[in-house]
Amino acid sequence: YKRVTVKSLIEMKKNGEKISMLTAYDYSMAKIVDAANVDVILVGDSASNVMAGHETTLPITLDQMIYHASSVIRAVNRALVVVDLPFGSYQSDPKEALRSAIRIMKESGGHAVKLEGGLEIKESVKRILNAGIPVMGHLGLTPQSIYKFGTYTVRAKEEEEAIKLKEDALMLEKAGCFAIVLEKIPATLAKEVAELVTIPVIGIGAGNGVDGQVLVVHDLVGLTQEFNPRFLRRYMNLYEEMGKAISDYVSDVKSRDFPSDDEQY
Ligand code: KIV
Ligand code: NA
């Protein structure tokens, strides 16, 4: 396998090759995602919702993110593995941000970290980058700030927020980030940002004018049911398929069909 690196992602943008990115939180799923040649695997703090059933991403801890990331790392041969710094592990000061990033790198073996925010976290981003740890930015809808926004609706529709977003993107590029995620903003604005910076811009609900796309893998395969935003394309309905298989198993146990003669010692 030729490993994907932060350098190869920047090359892909230069060559106009779109970047594919998906989440994974555990070994089994990461195996499938990596074998399907996804370029970047994100150990997202969306694990808080998807794996643990919380309503927001706020409760997940640094220790829990390290557990998820180390499980993913053991499965991956090709993809670049980016790990979210969870809420509370980097906002208080740059030194704590660096300590958290170092814990992720040392204890999980992840290849890079992702932080939400712009100017507010500039010093933390710089400190982490100075330690040689690659940083991915995340602007637009930033779910760790959900209680400030109030809703999960489209961000940066107003001029003022759009201007700040562009300034933040330029700052992240200048600081040395290798890529930026843009979540749930108008497609025209996302395209402008992708043209403004030389580092890859990876969108989720940010249209087709960016350098790559990211989705939560559980949404893509239809394991999650309640979450139905416009930007989500479901490629299968695994919730239904698995439900059928499992109820077949239950009937087979009840009817004594399972195990058969061939399925015992
Ligand atoms: O945690 C996550 O899954 C993310 C992506 C949606 C970008 O941050
Ligand atoms: Na996230």
| Tens-place pLDDT, residues 124-152 | 999 999 999 999 999 999 999 999 999 99
Q: Has 183 been annotated as catalytic? A: yes
Q: What's the structural domain count of the chain?
A: 2
- Which pTM does this prediction carry? 0.98
Percent of the chain with pLDDT over 70: 100
Contact 3, 175 (CB under 8 A): no
DSSP label at residue 156: -
Residue 229 sits in which domain range? 6-234
45 carries a ligand binding annotation: yes
Does residue 145 lie in a domain region? Answer: yes
Q: Are residues 211 and 106 in the same domain?
A: yes
Write the single-letter amino acid at 60: I
Please tell me the total number of residues recorded for the chain in this structure. 265
Q: What does the buried/exposed string (b/e) look like for 42-60 if buried means 16 or more CB atoms within 10 Å of the residue's CB?
A: bbbbbbbbbeeeeeebbeb
Q: Are residues 118 and 169 in the same domain?
A: yes
Does residue 32 lie in a domain region? Answer: yes
Does residue 57 lie in a domain region? Answer: yes
Instruction: Single out the residue of 196, 123, 144, 204 nearest to residue 165, CA to CA.
Output: 196
What's the pLDDT score for residue 12? Answer: 98
Among all bound ligands, the one having the nearest atom to the CA of 23 is 1
Q: Are residues 138 and 259 in the same domain?
A: no
Q: Are residues 220 and 242 in the same domain?
A: no
Does residue 16 lie in a domain region? Answer: yes
Q: Are residues 250 and 212 in the same domain?
A: no
Q: Are residues 201 and 247 in the same domain?
A: no
106 carries a ligand binding annotation: no
Q: Spell out which residues have Cβ within 5 A of ligand 2, the ion.
A: 44-45, 84
Going 80 to 45 to 64 to 29, the CA torsion angle's sign is negative
- Contacts of residues 6-9 at CB distance under 8 Å and 24 or more positions apart, as own/partner, are 6/80, 6/111, 6/112, 6/134, 6/178, 6/179, 8/80, 9/39, 9/40, 9/80, 9/178, 9/179, 9/200
The CA distance from 23 to 32, in Å, is 11
Q: Are residues 258 and 193 in the same domain?
A: no
Is the C-beta atom of 46 inside 6 A of ligand 1? yes
Q: Are residues 205 and 251 in the same domain?
A: no
Residue 202 CA, ligand 2 centroid: distance in Å: 13
The CA distance from 5 to 11, in Å, is 10
Q: Are residues 243 and 171 in the same domain?
A: no
Residue 265 CA, ligand 1 centroid: distance in Å: 46
Q: Which two tokens stand for residue 39?
A: 């370029």
> Among the options 11, 123, 173, 183, which is catalytic?
183
Q: Are residues 127 and 257 in the same domain?
A: no
Q: Are residues 156 and 55 in the same domain?
A: yes
CATH number, domain containing residue 133: 3.20.20.60
Q: Are residues 53 and 118 in the same domain?
A: yes
Which parts of the chain register pLDDT below 70?
Answer: 1
Closest atom of ligand 1 to 114 CA is: 8
Contact 33, 4 (CB under 8 A): no
Does residue 89 lie in a domain region? Answer: yes
Does residue 1 lie in a domain region? Answer: no
Contact 212, 17 (CB under 8 A): no
46 carries a ligand binding annotation: yes
Q: Which two tokens stand for residue 95?
A: 């030194």
DSSP lists the bridge partners of residue 196 as none
Write the single-letter amino acid at 148: K
Is the C-beta atom of 144 inside 6 A of ligand 1? no
Give phi and psi for 174, each to the nearest 5.
Answer: -65, -40
What's the pLDDT score for residue 226? Answer: 85
